[in-house]
């Protein structure tokens, strides 16, 4: 029986403001708040909310049969918290159905996996913590930014405890193989790999509303018929895309949501099920290791990382940013950490690309790749100065790490001593309370004894009084 794994990415670009050379050292705020609020509000209204409402309706109509997965970048969630909290509320409503899985990914939606393993691990852990906080379950499947993957990245994912990872079913990696099987990491056999079906995914996310496409118009029954026609042994069909494809890349007027809504009924008629990534990792065995010595992604025809690191400007910006990765992680300053997350986001480097692409690229405020590079490097110059100002830049990373470790250990010792002082103070308070209770008890006992003696004396006096009266009467007689 075939099964469809339907997955959507939710990430929001953090727009940087125009930042001049003369702003370095004087202005430490780098963001275009107006554009950030405008863009995410627009996407939420025209894509996220209509799409999520449709997916929720599909779950209610189909029960446990229909399932779907999401991954949300941490910086995207922050923007939703600020400007479109209704999207997070709807995602929590979807989560309550039990038919939705949330995946792990780098918090920043950045490229740390290509530069610094420690930063990558911290980035993923931060996002996993946030997902757990919101949805009550820790992710077990990892999806790297833009499906970036290599053997080394897979090995690190396995060492981080993940059971599976999503990546691209690129032809130059698969060769004659099909993406419709479960594979495993060549360096970590326990990490299962789910490969995106490029054609089926792009038919929806890129071509659905293209009137010049030879398969236009695409209907749900035709789409499912294509899946059903695959050989019997090809059982896992992975359809991955951005959620904004439903409403932005493919406008609502194209009836894209009607197409999505019809998929479960058509699939059920062909005896095709839906599964989440963790279910596939649990229920399907790997057929073979997948060797990926060179990094791949889901972007552009090359399916590599050249859209972010393909020219000297991009590589210079990338190298300069990650040259301070260890210092940022060691320093762990809250404001620095926030800017670090936003400056890592992969779109900052994508704006600098000089590659032609079949997918339109909106550079926002930038007129050219060089303009994007100049603005980013001005901001990065100020950011690096702030990082170095936290601690003298003549202290190398090892010295800084040792210094901060010593400070942390001293802080831990102080915490232990404070807890011991608090424990002793509590013990003293309890002893004082016990002593007070004993005093009150002794006082009560003393009062009881005094009262008893008084009653005894009174009784003796009363006993003597009648005898005295009798003697008095006898004497008078």
For residue 341, pLDDT beyond 60: yes
439 or 106, which is more confident?
106
pLDDT digits (tens, 9 = 90+) for 295-306: 999 998 899 999
103 or 440, which is more confident?
103
Specify the pLDDT at position 465: 57
Q: Work out the angle at residue 435's Cα, subtended by the Cα atoms of residues 429 and 441, and round it to the nearest 5 degrees.
A: 140
Task: Please give the share of the chain, as a percent, with pLDDT higher than 70.
Answer: 91
Q: Are 119 and 21 in contact (CB under 8 A)?
A: no
Longest dimension (CA), the chain: 147
Question: Quick one: CA torsion of 449, 455, 461, 464, rounded to 10 degrees?
Answer: -110
Cα–Cα distance measured from residue 251 to residue 209, given in angstroms and rounded to the nearest whole number:
8
For residue 360, pLDDT beyond 70: no
Residue 33, both tokens: 């708040």
Least Cα distance to 73 among 25, 33, 111, 27 occurs for 111
Cα–Cα distance measured from residue 357 to residue 13, given in angstroms and rounded to the nearest whole number:
19
For residue 464, pLDDT beyond 80: no
What SS3 state is found at 96? coil
Q: Write down how long the chain is.
A: 477
Model confidence band, residue 316 (pLDDT cutoffs 50, 70, 90): very high
pLDDT digits (tens, 9 = 90+) for 319-336: 999 999 998 988 889 999
DSSP 372-438: HHHHHHHHHHHHHHHHHHHS-TTS-HHHHHHHHHHHHHHHHHHHHHHHHHHHHHHHHHHHHHHHHHH
Q: Where are the alpha helices (DSSP H) in 149-305?
A: 151-159, 171-174, 198-205, 220-228, 256-269, 277-283
HSE of 84, CA atoms in CB hemisphere, 13 A: 25
Model confidence band, residue 476 (pLDDT cutoffs 50, 70, 90): low
Question: Quick one: CA torsion of 100, 104, 106, 111, rounded to 10 degrees?
Answer: -100
Cα–Cα distance measured from residue 249 to residue 51, given in angstroms and rounded to the nearest whole number:
13
CA 117, 121, 124, 126 dihedral sign is: negative
Specify the pLDDT at position 91: 98
Model confidence band, residue 434 (pLDDT cutoffs 50, 70, 90): confident
Residue 471, both tokens: 């003697």
The answer to which of 248-262, 278-292, 384-398, 447-461 has the lowest mean pLDDT is 447-461
For residue 357, pLDDT beyond 70: no
Count of C-beta atoms within a 10 Å radius of residue 77: 22
Q: Are 186 and 231 in contact (CB under 8 A)?
A: no
What SS3 state is found at 215? coil
Read off the pTM: 0.82
DSSP 281-322: HHHS---SEE---S-B-SSTTTTSSHHHHSSHHHHHHHHHHH
440 or 373, which is more confident?
373
Specify the pLDDT at position 450: 76
Q: Taking residues 177-196, what's their average pLDDT?
A: 97
pLDDT digits (tens, 9 = 90+) for 412-430: 667 777 777 888 888 888 8
For residue 460, pLDDT beyond 60: yes
Least Cα distance to 146 among 230, 71, 41 occurs for 71
Task: Please give the share of the chain, as a percent, with pLDDT higher than 90.
Answer: 76
Cα–Cα distance measured from residue 341 to residue 323, given in angstroms and rounded to the nearest whole number:
15
Cα–Cα distance measured from residue 351 to residue 186, given in angstroms and rounded to the nearest whole number:
33
Residues 6+ apart with CB under 8 A from 137: 102, 131
Least Cα distance to 348 among 322, 387, 385 occurs for 322
Model confidence band, residue 179 (pLDDT cutoffs 50, 70, 90): very high
Specify the DSSP class assigned to residue 347: H
Cα–Cα distance measured from residue 142 to residue 156, given in angstroms and rounded to the nearest whole number:
11
pLDDT digits (tens, 9 = 90+) for 362-406: 788 899 999 999 999 999 999 999 999 887 666 666 666 676 667
Specify the pLDDT at position 471: 56
Long-range pairs, 264-271, Cβ under 8 A, ≥24: 264/58, 264/61, 264/62, 264/65, 264/66, 265/220, 266/220, 266/221, 266/223, 266/224, 267/4, 267/224, 267/227, 268/62, 268/65, 269/224, 270/224, 270/225, 270/227, 270/228, 271/1, 271/2
Q: What is the mean pLDDT of the chain?
A: 91
Specify the pLDDT at position 467: 52
Model confidence band, residue 138 (pLDDT cutoffs 50, 70, 90): very high
């Amino acid at each position: 029986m075939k099964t469809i794994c339907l997955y959507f990415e939710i990430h929001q670009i953090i727009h940087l403001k125009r930042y001049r050379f003369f702003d370095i050292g004087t202005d430490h705020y780098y963001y275009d708040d107006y554009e950030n609020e405008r863009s995410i509000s627009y996407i939420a209204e025209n894509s996220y909310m209509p799409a999520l409402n449709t997916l929720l309706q599909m779950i209610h109509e189909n029960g446990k049969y229909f399932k779907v997965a999401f991954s949300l970048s941490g910086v995207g969630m922050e923007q939703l918290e600020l400007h479109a909290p209704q999207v997070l509320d709807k995602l929590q409503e979807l989560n309550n159905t039990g038919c939705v899985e949330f995946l792990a990914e780098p918090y920043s939606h950045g490229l740390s996996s290509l530069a610094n393993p420690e930063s990558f691990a911290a980035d993923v852990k931060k996002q996993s913590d946030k997902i757990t906080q919101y949805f009550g379950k820790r992710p077990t499947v990892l999806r790297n930014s833009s499906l970036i993957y290599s053997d080394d990245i897979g090995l690190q994912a396995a060492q981080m405890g993940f059971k599976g990872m999503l990546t691209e079913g690129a032809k130059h990696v698969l060769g004659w193989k099909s993406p419709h099987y479960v594979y495993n990491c060549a360096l970590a056999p326990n990490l299962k790999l789910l490969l995106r079906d490029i054609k089926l995914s792009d038919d929806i996310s890129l071509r659905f509303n293209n009137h010049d496409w030879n398969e236009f118009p695409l209907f749900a029954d035709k789409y499912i018929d294509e899946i059903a026609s695959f050989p019997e042994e090809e059982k896992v069909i992975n359809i991955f895309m951005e959620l904004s494809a439903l409403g932005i890349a493919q406008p609502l007027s194209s009836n894209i949501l009607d197409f999505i809504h019809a998929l479960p009924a058509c699939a059920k008629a062909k005896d095709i099920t839906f599964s989440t990534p963790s279910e596939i990792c649990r229920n399907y065995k790997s057929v073979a290791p997948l060797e990926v010595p060179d990094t791949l992604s889901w972007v552009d025809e090359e399916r590599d990382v050249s859209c972010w690191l393909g020219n000297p400007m991009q590589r210079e910006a990338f190298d300069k940013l990650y040259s301070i990765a260890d210092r940022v992680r060691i320093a762990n300053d809250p404001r620095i950490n926030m800017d670090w997350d936003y400056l890592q986001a992969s779109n900052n480097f994508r704006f600098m690309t000089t590659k032609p692409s079949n997918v339109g690229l909106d550079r926002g405020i930038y007129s050219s790749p060089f303009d994007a590079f100049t603005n980013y490097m001005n901001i990065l110059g100020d950011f690096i100065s702030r990082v170095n100002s936290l601690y003298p830049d003549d202290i190398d990373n090892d010295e800084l790490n040792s210094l901060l470790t010593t400070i942390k250990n001293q802080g831990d010792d102080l915490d232990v001593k404070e807890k011991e002082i608090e424990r002793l103070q509590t013990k003293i308070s309890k002893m004082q309370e016990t002593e007070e209770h004993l005093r009150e008890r002794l006082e009560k006992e003393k009062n009881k004894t005094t009262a008893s003696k008084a009653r005894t004396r009174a009784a003796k006096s009363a006993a003597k009084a009648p005898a005295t009266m009798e003697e008095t009467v006898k004497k008078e007689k």
